[in-house]
Structure 1
């Protein structure tokens, strides 16, 4: 049985070794159960203050976990990891346009980059499952669906743009449970920003996510929406930022921190 067939039992260091070999899962949701996952946003030093200010002004989609020194491509606080190689896949943006999606970002990494690592909703999925809340995207072997909304984030300097949300169908009888569980994980986006009618977020159709995969609902399911760490990518595109490296949506840095440690 390969690592991709039993990813939940891997340690974070084992998972990162898998990713360094170039093996790319559809999503890291369900990987290394009980460990924190993180989004990546690497920007040139001259944009780093704006990026940091944006995260501080928008803690829902961008809960900060670690910020690297300029030119240092390694995480130190939340993982012993090389940010150029230890994620499954990366996206490279130039002037707001996606120009490459790669499994190794070494070729694109610059000496002036500052990396912001922010919390991810995959982190609270173990707690949801433990509380009996089904995770339809995992059941169906799909990436979580993500949508660009009509809600605007608070701008910061040269960065401005829309909120992105992830969506999980939850049985109506478990909506309150899902809210309570995720509210206890503020560094993983916390409680949902919206529940119910997607039109309230300006989403025209749940069948056409902007990132990730559409998922099927079971009878009695209600759509629940959480602020998403892909928000900076939508902001980068809207702001036409000159150069940025991010994670590929749904393919995260798996850290050495435990979910319980992060929640505390």
Structure 2
């Protein structure tokens, strides 16, 4: 499939099992989203968790109970089938990774779509800042940190960050660009010195793939929508369904709608 296809063509390819890989670079210009699905009894606590932690969990939409249709961001889509890969967590343990969650679906489910940093990558590229995981054709590197999220109800746990290495001369520009996208994680939460946020080895990401960091480059870290998966492991809800890291939901919302002046 051509990565430059329109968003509906991409979702159709995903739905039909023709694309099961990470979605970085797909359907340029359209907002990508992280997914969290929970039984209704956890919905308020998780909503409060997102409100208290807007950097890693910027809310784009919360669905009606039992509805797999994100009516605000992609009213023709189906959250049960339209992501390349999903993860099933039970009591904090990763039970399975699947390409369709129709068999798991319950009328009790509430779905949350969270902003994704893939959304601002086009703006970085347009400013001449390379994206290493795109250049290397792999998933972005993601790491657990020792930065604690603000707890809410049953939910607590560490922040996860995504990392993009770049030359030091590009760092200030990257901060300026991404700060214009607060609804998709915004500006970085940390620059350089990964050990200061609890990352011991950049070659061993907790999620995604390692990328090359060349001599003289600076690792730049953004809050990441995989944070709820680390929170699931720490909080152990009976069930949480998420996207597989890097395998995002493609919305109908144009990227520029998230940019602020």
For residues 21 and 141 of structure 2, the distance between their equivalents in structure 1, rounded to whole angstroms, comes to 12
2:33 to 11, 30, 38: 38
Runs (4+) of structure 1 exceeding 6 A deviation are: none
Residues 1:241 and 2:240 are matched in the alignment: no
For residues 150 and 213 of structure 2, the distance between their equivalents in structure 1, rounded to whole angstroms, comes to 32
Q: CA deviation at 1:25?
A: 4.0
SS of the residue 2:104 aligns to: coil
Residues 1:14 and 2:24 are matched in the alignment: no
What corresponds to 2:211 in structure 1? Answer: 215
What corresponds to 2:100 in structure 1? Answer: 104
Paired residue total: 259
For residues 105 and 129 of structure 2, the distance between their equivalents in structure 1, rounded to whole angstroms, comes to 39
For residues 233 and 198 of structure 2, the distance between their equivalents in structure 1, rounded to whole angstroms, comes to 18
What corresponds to 2:200 in structure 1? Answer: 204
What corresponds to 1:61 in structure 2? Answer: 56
SS of the residue 1:176 aligns to: helix
Q: CA deviation at 1:118?
A: 0.5
For residues 73 and 233 of structure 1, the distance between their equivalents in structure 2, rounded to whole angstroms, comes to 20
For residues 208 and 77 of structure 1, the distance between their equivalents in structure 2, rounded to whole angstroms, comes to 37
Residues 1:47 and 2:42 are matched in the alignment: yes
For residues 219 and 199 of structure 1, the distance between their equivalents in structure 2, rounded to whole angstroms, comes to 17
TM-score normalised to structure 1 length: 0.96
TM-score normalised to structure 2 length: 0.98
SS of the residue 2:196 aligns to: helix
- RMSD over aligned CA atoms reads 0.8
Q: CA deviation at 1:27?
A: 1.2
1:182 to 178, 181, 187: 178
Contact 2:164/2:219 (<8 A) preserved? yes
Contact 1:24/1:103 (<8 A) preserved? no
SS of the residue 2:11 aligns to: helix
SS of the residue 1:261 aligns to: helix
Unaligned runs of 5+ in 1: none
Greater mean deviation of Cα atoms: 135-144 or 210-219: 210-219
SS of the residue 1:14 aligns to: helix
Q: CA deviation at 1:198?
A: 0.3
